[in-house]
Structure 1
Amino acid sequence: MATRTEPICALVADDEAPARRRIADLLARDRSIGKVVLAENGVDALTKIREAAPDIVFLDVQMPGLDGLGVADAMGGKMPLTVFVTAYDRFAIHAFERDAVDYLLKPFSDRRYEQMMCRVKERLADLRSRGEEGGSTIGPELLKLIEKRSTPGGIWEWIAIKSRDTTRLLMTDDIDWVEAAGVYVSIHAKGEEFLYRAGLTAVASRLDPFRFVRIHRTSIVNVKSIALLERRSHGEFDVILHCGKRLPMSRTYRDTVEAVLGQPL
């Protein structure tokens, strides 16, 4: 167990004030807790994890902008001991995939909280006895992306396709691929084609980089639309979509594709 000479710093992140107070009040009764830091959303939590270097983090799974699972992913394996807190049990598998120490289902009893804290303190004592600590390795580019994702309209969920008298809202998740077409881009979605007045680079900067990847100077694809990658010569591939469309992938963008997939081609 942690001693009085090693007070525990805990961070509580939840977008609902009553939920934050519930855990903060329980922590305040514990003499081994030296400091409690509160965060109102995922981006706030990331910033305060960097600043306060807490020993334990209590993360609400569902928060606007950046959720608790996204916070853990953004930390890149350097997350402090983490307890996910949520009203839904369907996120449990995702939580433990991120090495969660425990998973509190709202509403939880004081007894359930105490059981969780015993487990957390045992784990923390073990880490401290071995001289191991958590840490943050969030780079500035990732922070920019996180901030963009937390801003309404920063990352497009919809594209407004304008015609003479109407504006059609096209969900970006329905897009299969986007290709350059002069001062326009041609957007292909659900078997239809739409012209949008913007450059390919400008559109790429507003699409979710975890879902869309540039494969050529003239084209971007939705990763979920890819069926096959067919190797050609000199490190190049053909990208074959579920709809049957075949697009060239130049070796210039191979590293980018591998980074999005998280594995080599």
Structure 2
Amino acid sequence: MPKPVTAQPDPIRALVVDDEAPARRRITDLLARDGDVAKILTAENGADAIAKIREERPDIVFLDMQMPGVNGLGVIEAIGAEAMPVTIFVTAYDRFAIQAFESNAIDYLLKPFSDQRFDTTIARAKERLNDLRLRNADSANALGHDLVKLVAQRAKPGAIWHWIVVKSRDTTRLLMTDQIDWIEAAGVYVNVHSQGEAFLCRASLTTVASRLDPFRFVRIHRSSIVNIRSIAALERRSHGEFEVQLQNGDRLMMSRTYRSEVEALLGQPL
């Protein structure tokens, strides 16, 4: 009786985009040892990457975020988030490399990365690519689409707040979000705590949370958001809760509901 024929995965076409030759070589060498990768393309800059994506239609793209001229954001804008191939971000800056990016939906490589980290990343990319091919549906999300949208959104003026407008009588003040320690719900508005003072902002906590930098601010309770850089210590309490001690001396409670969000931002368990 003949053995059943096992379907072989379609060959993968990969594009490596980086302005530094050693960085490109590092990834191409790792890809070359992978039997599923049939073709490896390279691009030295963003403009070249745009042309290669449009002409070659690679399955997977390793996209450096920091390049002179047209950077990774420019590539995304030119191609369009929905049209991007399965995308893995490559960066030397940890402001892009937060645990929130490490999920089944997206991935990144933080330079310098180990062979093991690369293997984990390419395995995740293959899984998502196979899912797309099996579904054969335009509505299926490619690896990195959610992150692509987020990063592209960050490039638009006003999409992410770097200042918060607070008003008091006839005075309008601009508080830099870098100087904010934490924010608490105050009815339909919020109180913004910065440098020992509290200011009323006429926006809901949900609205403020959606406009703050997700690399820096995290919700710790249904009524409070904290600047991760303002945290001095976390003290475990009962039922999975923590007391959050800020550097300015304020003490807040972190409910277990939001513990996973804090751990995701830190990239480590509490």
TM bracket (short chain): 0.5 to 0.7
Going from structure 1 to structure 2, the CA distance change for 1:165 and 1:248 (only over 3 Å counts) comes to same
Aligned to 2:220: 215
| Residue type at the aligned position of 1:11 | V
Alignment equivalent of 1:254, drawn from 237, 253, 259: 259
Task: Say yes or no: does 1:173 pair with 2:204.
Answer: no
- Once the 2 structures are TM-superposed, how far is the Cα of residue 199 of structure 1 from its aligned partner? 0.8
Where do 5+ consecutive residues of structure 2 fail to align? 1-12, 21-38, 75-89, 129-142
State the TM-score, normalized to the length of structure 2. 0.57
| Residue type at the aligned position of 1:242 | Q
Aligned to 2:206: 201
Deviations 1:33-87 (A, max 9, x none): 96758525x9x79x88xx535787666457596995469746624x5xxxxxxxx
Where do 5+ consecutive residues of structure 1 fail to align? 1-6, 15-31, 80-93, 101-126
* Cα contact 1:178–1:185 (8 A) shared by 2: yes
- Once the 2 structures are TM-superposed, how far is the Cα of residue 166 of structure 1 from its aligned partner? 3.1
| Residue type at the aligned position of 1:52 | P
* Cα contact 1:53–1:135 (8 A) shared by 2: no
CA–CA separation in structure 2 for the residues paired with 1:52 and 1:72: 24
Aligned residue pairs, count: 194
Aligned to 2:187: 182
Q: For the aligned residues, what is the CA RMSD?
A: 4.2
* Cα contact 1:55–1:134 (8 A) shared by 2: no
User: Any idea what SS the aligned residue of 2:239 has?
Assistant: coil
Task: Say yes or no: does 1:76 pair with 2:107.
Answer: yes
Alignment equivalent of 1:232, drawn from 231, 237, 245: 237
Alignment equivalent of 1:163, drawn from 168, 175, 182: 168
* Cα contact 1:158–1:171 (8 A) shared by 2: yes
Task: Say yes or no: does 1:151 pair with 2:128.
Answer: no
CA–CA separation in structure 1 for the residues paired with 2:182 and 2:64: 39
Going from structure 1 to structure 2, the CA distance change for 1:52 and 1:12 (only over 3 Å counts) comes to farther
Going from structure 1 to structure 2, the CA distance change for 1:35 and 1:174 (only over 3 Å counts) comes to closer
| Residue type at the aligned position of 1:152 | P
Going from structure 1 to structure 2, the CA distance change for 1:192 and 1:65 (only over 3 Å counts) comes to farther
CA–CA separation in structure 1 for the residues paired with 2:124 and 2:253: 42
CA–CA separation in structure 2 for the residues paired with 1:158 and 1:64: 25
| Residue type at the aligned position of 1:194 | F
CA–CA separation in structure 1 for the residues paired with 2:255 and 2:96: 33
User: Any idea what SS the aligned residue of 1:234 has?
Assistant: helix
State the TM-score, normalized to the length of structure 1. 0.58
CA–CA separation in structure 2 for the residues paired with 1:218 and 1:33: 49
* Cα contact 1:13–1:59 (8 A) shared by 2: no
CA–CA separation in structure 2 for the residues paired with 1:255 and 1:8: 33
| Residue type at the aligned position of 1:76 | D
Going from structure 1 to structure 2, the CA distance change for 1:11 and 1:139 (only over 3 Å counts) comes to closer
Aligned to 1:11: 17
CA–CA separation in structure 2 for the residues paired with 1:64 and 1:238: 39
Going from structure 1 to structure 2, the CA distance change for 1:33 and 1:257 (only over 3 Å counts) comes to closer
